[in-house]
């Protein structure tokens, strides 16, 4: 029974992916006008994304390579990358709060209905198909929330751990917290690091799936076509300039 369930899930996933690709191809085929591009990510937002990615990968490599026996002077690289990540996160939060539409990343009732519909169709329980999302789908909002929680946990605990190393600005003070408090800091930081490994792998996997490549392109070049917009998004939930 387990193997039958696994085959069912894979079949449903493949069917959903094929349907998404067919929608995009159909919309592109119907559009005979020159490619009309819609800005999905501004240049600053793309820069923030890739700087965060570089910082996180640097932190993960400098954290886990020494554990695997690859010895190098990793401490300074690690805490400098951590400071860079904290600075970028602060810039991102300020930009999101002051200049961007915060509601585009919030969950609403339609997202929850779509999530239920996706689960029902994945498990062949019937029900209505999920509607087209706004700028960001339920899954994209969910992974953003997960990265927010995990990165903030790693950043806060990492900043606390910097008290225990010498920097150009202060001398180490390993007694700033009690042994029990340091234990909590280490556990939270380690769990956040392990979660980041899994989440980065999942993020890269979905970014490279054929039906998601237009999202990946938009994070590199900044745009999607109007055909892709019509095929994948609800214009009432994500309104763009005509």
Domain layout of the chain by residue ranges: 1-31, 46-100+137-226
Q: Give the pLDDT confidence score for residue 2 in this predicted structure.
A: 40
Each residue's pLDDT tens digit, 138-153? 999 999 999 999 999 9
Name the nearest CA neighbour of 197 among 241, 155, 150: 150
Give ∠ CA 102-145-8 in degrees, rounded to 5. Answer: 120
- What is the model's pTM? 0.82
Q: Over the chain, what is the mean pLDDT?
A: 88
Pick the CATH number of 46-100+137-226 from 3.30.160, 1.20.950, 1.10.3470, 2.70.98: 1.20.950
Q: State mean pLDDT over 15-28.
A: 61
The H or E element that residue 32 is part of is none
Rounded to an integer, what distance in angstroms lies between the CA atom of residue 80 and that of residue 78? 6
Report the percent of the chain where pLDDT is more than 90. Answer: 74
Name the nearest CA neighbour of 177 among 153, 160, 195: 160
Q: State mean pLDDT over 46-72.
A: 97
Q: Is pLDDT above 70 for 233?
A: yes
């Amino acid at each position: 029974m387990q193997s039958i369930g696994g085959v069912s899930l894979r079949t449903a996933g493949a069917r959903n992916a094929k349907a998404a690709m067919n929608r995009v191809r159909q919309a592109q085929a119907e559009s005979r006008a020159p490619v009309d591009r819609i800005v999905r990510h501004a240049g600053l937002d793309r820069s923030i994304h890739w700087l965060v990615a570089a910082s996180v990968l640097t932190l993960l490599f400098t954290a886990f390579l020494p554990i695997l026996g690859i010895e190098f002077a990793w401490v300074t690289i690690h805490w400098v990358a951590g400071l860079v990540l904290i600075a970028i996160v602060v810039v991102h939060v300020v930009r999101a709060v002051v200049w961007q539409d915060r509601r585009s990343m919030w969950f609403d009732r339609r997202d929850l209905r779509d999530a239920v519909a996706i689960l029902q169709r994945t498990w062949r329980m019937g029900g209505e198909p999920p509607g087209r999302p706004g700028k960001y789908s339920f899954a994209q909002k969910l992974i953003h929330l997960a990265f927010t929680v995990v990165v903030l946990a790693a950043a806060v605990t990492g900043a606390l751990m910097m008290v225990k190393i010498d920097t150009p600005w202060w001398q180490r003070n390993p007694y700033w917290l009690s042994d029990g408090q340091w234990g909590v800091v280490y556990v939270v930081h380690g769990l956040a690091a392990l979660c980041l490994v899994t989440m980065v792998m999942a993020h890269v996997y979905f970014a490279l799936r054929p039906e998601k490549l237009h999202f990946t392109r938009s994070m590199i070049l900044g745009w999607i076509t109007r055909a892709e917009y019509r095929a994948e998004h609800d214009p009432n939930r994500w309104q763009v300039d005509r």
